[in-house]
Structures are given as C-alpha cells and as structure tokens.
C-alpha cells in the first residue's frame, strides 16, 4: 500500500480499489493534530486505517513533531501500540 502526504489537503492518503482513504490532520508548528481517519466501507476491514495511522505517526516521529490524537481511532491505536506513546502531547 502506497501512502502519500498531501500537504495542500492536510491529509495522508491512499487509494485502495478506487476508494480514497485518508487521515486528516492540522499542523501547528511542531504539533500535529490527527483529527479523523476515513476508510470507505467498500474497503473496510483490511487494516487500512491502521496503516494510515502508523504511517502518519512514523512521519511525525521523523519530523520531530508532537502528536495530539483528536481522532478516537488514532487514540485507541496508540493505546494498542505503546511504542508511539512518547510522541503524544497528552500522555
């Protein structure tokens, strides 16, 4: 799966079976607010949301950004993957 950073739309995105899957964010200096993950039902259940989240968090780590997981999915994902806890502003 190829995930792209679309800076102009403030999202990470991938296309699976012609369906656009995204993780929307806002960047405030060195703080990235991860606001929403959207995967259409037609391609749901394949781990796409998790891959978008992992990619976005790895990008944040590489950039030295602090993460605010506003999206409930992202927050739960981080709880299940504690190796990303140190990125979070509120943890």
CATH number at residue 9: 3.40.630.30
**Structural domains of the chain, count:** 1
Band of residue 72 on the pLDDT scale cut at 50, 70, 90: very high
pLDDT at 90: 56
What integer is the mean pLDDT of 41-70?
A: 97
pLDDT reading at 91 higher than 90: no
Output the average pLDDT for the chain: 96
Torsion of CA 21, 26, 32, 38, to 10 degrees: -20
Structural domain that includes position 25:
4-87
Rama region for 41: left / alpha / beta (φ>0; ψ in -120 to 50; rest): alpha
Residue entry with tokens 């993957």: 81
Q: Of 59, 57, 43, 48, which is closest to residue 22 (Cα–Cα)? A: 48
């Amino acid at each position: 799966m190829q995930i792209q950073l679309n800076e102009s739309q403030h999202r990470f995105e991938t296309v699976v079976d012609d369906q656009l899957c995204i993780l929307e964010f806002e960047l405030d200096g060195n703080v990235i607010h991860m606001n929403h993950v959207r995967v259409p039902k037609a391609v749901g259940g394949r781990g796409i949301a998790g891959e978008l989240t992992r990619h976005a968090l790895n990008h944040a780590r590489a950039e030295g950004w602090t993460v605010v997981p506003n999206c409930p999915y992202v927050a739960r994902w981080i709880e299940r993957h504690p190796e990303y806890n140190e990125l979070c502003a509120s943890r």
